[in-house]
Amino acid sequence: MNNVNDLPSKDNVNDLLIEIGTEELPPKALLKLSQAFEKSVADDLKEAGLDHAGIKAFAAPRRLALLITELAEKQADREINKRGPALTAAFGEDGCPTKAAEGFARSCGVESVDQLSQLKTDKGAWLAFTLHEKGQTAAELIPDIVRKALDKLPIPKRMRWGAGDAQFVRPVHWVVLLLGNTIIDTEILSIKSDNKTFGHRFHHPAAMTLFDPASYEDLLQSQGYVIADFAKRRDIVRQAVIDVATKENGTAVIDDALLDEVTAMVEWPVAVLGNFDKSFLDVPMECLISSMKGHQKYFHMLDSDGKLMPNFITVSNIDSSNLDTVRKGNERVIRPRLSDAEFFWQQDKKHRLDAHQESLKKIVFQKKLGSVHDKSERIATLAKTITDTLGEDSAAAVRAAQLCKCDLMSEMVNEFPDLQGVMGRYYASADGEADNIAQAIEDHYRPRFAGDDLPKDVIGQAVSIADKLDTLVGLYAIGQPPTGQKDPYALRRAALGILRICMEYSLNINVHDLIASAVNNYKILAPKLEIPDNVVDDVFDFILGRLAVYYSNQDFAGDEIDAIVSLRPGQFNELDQRLRAVAAFRKLPEAESLSAANTRITNILKKSKQAIADSVDTSLFEGDEEIALYEALQSSLKDVEPLLAKADYTAALTNLASLREPVDTFFDKVMVMADDEAIRNNRLALLNILRQLFLRIADLSRLQS
């Protein structure tokens, strides 16, 4: 929205309505199409210099629309100043125009050089020309702005209809371009523009005439049975579903993605309660929910104990006088769907989960990385390494890893892929597997998305980390890291998941070492695979690189994160403590001076061409400043060591802040690069000890002043 002070005079503005009426648009794409349409038109209006008070977007199953309020009637007139050749190059010794001058005149659209002006500045003089360009009207500019916006919409595959050449995501039936009370006369997608819109396909299929843009939303709602505002319609759907559930003493579970999809399918939402046979509740609730959501777009209900109720809520697009007929129709449709789920459940239970292990050899994980069975074996080996390191039950981790992909062969997961892991837990429990093994089968996929829950116990955590590391190492080994927006194996999500599990559960494992173990597993179990030497470091750096994403919603500066990441610490359980220590240290009055000192020391040590000693010879000290720094350093070492041992990095850095005064005095009074080689090397060794002490926590030289 423009600043109020920049708005054009009320006398020279009009509201503009743009509406593209279509066949039913793809529900999952509707909101994205609307947002892209709005952004493109807004950007082009700004580029054209057509000021306006604001834009409101409308998106419904059969329309994309924009209401642009107080749009300027025309562009402002403008002057375009063009500078030509310097006068010394524009005229010859005889005073006649050169070819350069004549060429510039032609480019300006004038017949002779005499019609040009001259521009004189302190730097010289040039030929010049001022073009007075008259602003175009909004009515002249809008058609092309709309066409351009429609052409840029994110439509993977456009379609043609009828005998015309127009292409869009769905056939277009009407176009409204109304500026004030005047139709902008043009063609958009082979449809002549008009001021007629259409309401609900059944409740009000006849045309409705718009006399001004501002009446659009109210006219559609009051006469046309269309709630055109997507957000408003979404709220209506949500509340209607909640109200129906409340009347049944249940709680409606409203998934945001499903809510958006249902909102995109209806123009006039009416929530209807339906029921199904209680016998279906013997099937795992996730199966029934997946069927209701995925196939029918129904909302499910839970009772006060969190158990699935034998009901569903559908959102009808018709305000029927006989909702009982609508209810019965939906109940008829859902029954065979739930019967299918029941059948798959019964069939799958006839086979033990581990009976599918051999079949996993037939499923390709990635053509260069072998089968899913191969992957399961690698996961098992790495999960054992993790649990051995943590002192946990490695046998349980191995068993969970060997079974974690077996439900991919089940009938249920084949029908409902989103249930992988979930069904593995159910089938493992039915087979009598231990609870932690069954839970780990489901949890190893976690976190599935941003903000998702993490694996519940250490066995699930180990298998989850092993699975994700195996995928990362394998894809990097064959040269397929994520690029730009392409990440088909969700490697970014996997890396962030590893970070979250290690940090939020404070797992005492070295991730760099685990990556090396994962590489070694590939060398043993996939010996033909040639793995580049840099894979371990590349995968490790990629995972560490997600730390900025992890902390994106917290108040940590990028250089504070860099101060930790640059050290490439393998123990992720300490990352949070280190980062919070740096953030706290930065607020201390000594921080800026010590950060600068660390930078100075780093630069000095980099320039040294000789190996730097690990110890200091106090007999080589020449002044009190060296002695003071050495003694302060020894005192800090004594105090800081126990703090570092218990990972109390905040207290450690606070203690090290006391070194500011002796460090500042040292640099003020002591020439580090002394002529005497022994003295110079001794001073470098002193600074190196100081630097290494800080590096046990963070690289403070990365902090910006």
Q: Would you say 288 and 300 are in contact if contact means Cβ atoms under 8 Å apart?
A: yes
Q: Report the range out of 170-179, 544-553, 614-623 with the highest average pLDDT.
A: 170-179
Mean pLDDT (whole number) for 255-274: 97
- Taking only the tens place, the pLDDT of each residue in 308-360 is 999 999 999 999 888 899 999 999 999 999 999 999 999 999 999 999 999 99
pLDDT of residue 526: 86
pLDDT of residue 9: 43
* CATH level 3 topology of 354-550: Hypothetical protein af1432 (1.10.3210)
Q: Say yes or no to pLDDT of 414 above 70.
A: yes
CATH number of 4-75+137-222: 3.30.70.260
Mean pLDDT (whole number) for 187-216: 96
Q: Say yes or no to pLDDT of 54 above 50.
A: yes
Q: Model confidence at 5, in pLDDT bands (50, 70, 90)?
A: very low
Q: Return all residues near 63 (Cβ < 8 A) that are at least 6 apart.
A: 19, 20, 21, 22, 197, 226, 228
Lowest mean pLDDT among 28-37, 483-492, 516-525: 483-492
Beta strands 182-183 and 172-179 are antiparallel
Dihedral (CA of 135, 140, 141, 142) sign:
positive
- Taking only the tens place, the pLDDT of each residue in 559-604 is 999 999 999 999 999 999 999 999 999 999 999 999 999 999 999 9
How long is the chain?
705
- Taking only the tens place, the pLDDT of each residue in 246-258 is 999 999 999 999 9
Rounded Cα distance, 498 and 471, in Å: 12
pLDDT of residue 4: 34
Rounded Cα distance, 494 and 488, in Å: 12
Q: Say yes or no to pLDDT of 494 above 90.
A: yes
Q: Say yes or no to pLDDT of 2 above 50.
A: no
Share of the chain above pLDDT 90, in %: 84
Residue bearing the bigger pLDDT, 109 or 629: 629
CATH number of 589-702: 1.10.730.10
Q: Model confidence at 80, in pLDDT bands (50, 70, 90)?
A: confident
Tokens, residue 345: 């459940």
Residue type, 26: P
- Taking only the tens place, the pLDDT of each residue in 501-538 is 999 999 999 999 999 999 999 999 888 899 999 999 99
Q: Which long-range contacts (CB under 8 A, 24 or more apart) does 253-257 make?
A: 253/289, 253/299, 253/300, 253/301, 253/302, 254/299, 255/293, 255/299
pLDDT of residue 10: 54
Cβ burial, residue 74 (10 Å; 0-12/13-18/19+): middle
- The SS3 assignment for 635 reads helix
3-state secondary structure 516-567: HHHHHHHHHHCCCCCCCCCHHHHHHHHHHHCHHHHCCCCCCCHHHHHHHHCC
Instruction: Give the Å distances, CA to CA, from 60 to 150, 213, 237.
Output: 16, 17, 13
Mean pLDDT (whole number) for 78-89: 86
The average confidence (pLDDT) of the chain is: 93
As a whole number of Å, the CA-based R_g of the chain is: 35
Rounded Cα distance, 99 and 81, in Å: 21
Tokens, residue 89: 């190059």
Which H helix or E strand runs over 224?
A: none
Residue bearing the bigger pLDDT, 363 or 612: 363
Cβ atoms within 10 Å, residue 568: 11
Nearest Cα to Cα of residue 640 among 690, 588, 598? 690
Beta strands 172-179 and 191-194 are parallel
pLDDT of residue 510: 97
Q: What are phi and psi of 256, to 5 degrees?
A: -60, -40
- Taking only the tens place, the pLDDT of each residue in 666-695 is 999 999 999 998 999 999 999 999 999 999
Rounded Cα distance, 597 and 663, in Å: 7
- Taking only the tens place, the pLDDT of each residue in 430-446 is 999 999 999 999 999 99
Helices 372-390 and 511-525 pack at an angle, to 10 degrees, of 140
- Taking only the tens place, the pLDDT of each residue in 94-136 is 889 999 998 999 988 888 888 888 888 888 898 999 887 788 8
Nearest Cα to Cα of residue 309 among 253, 238, 261? 253
Q: Say yes or no to pLDDT of 7 above 70.
A: no
Q: Would you say 550 and 492 are in contact if contact means Cβ atoms under 8 Å apart?
A: no
pLDDT of residue 11: 60
Residues pairing with 56 in the sheet: 67
pLDDT of residue 8: 43
Share of the chain above pLDDT 70, in %: 98
b/e 501-529 (16+ beta carbons within 10 angstroms → b): bbbeeebebbbbebbbbbbbbbeeebeee
Give the residue extent of every domain in the chain: 4-75+137-222, 78-133, 230-348, 354-550, 589-702
Rounded Cα distance, 403 and 459, in Å: 13
Q: Say yes or no to pLDDT of 1 above 80.
A: no
Mean pLDDT (whole number) for 182-203: 96
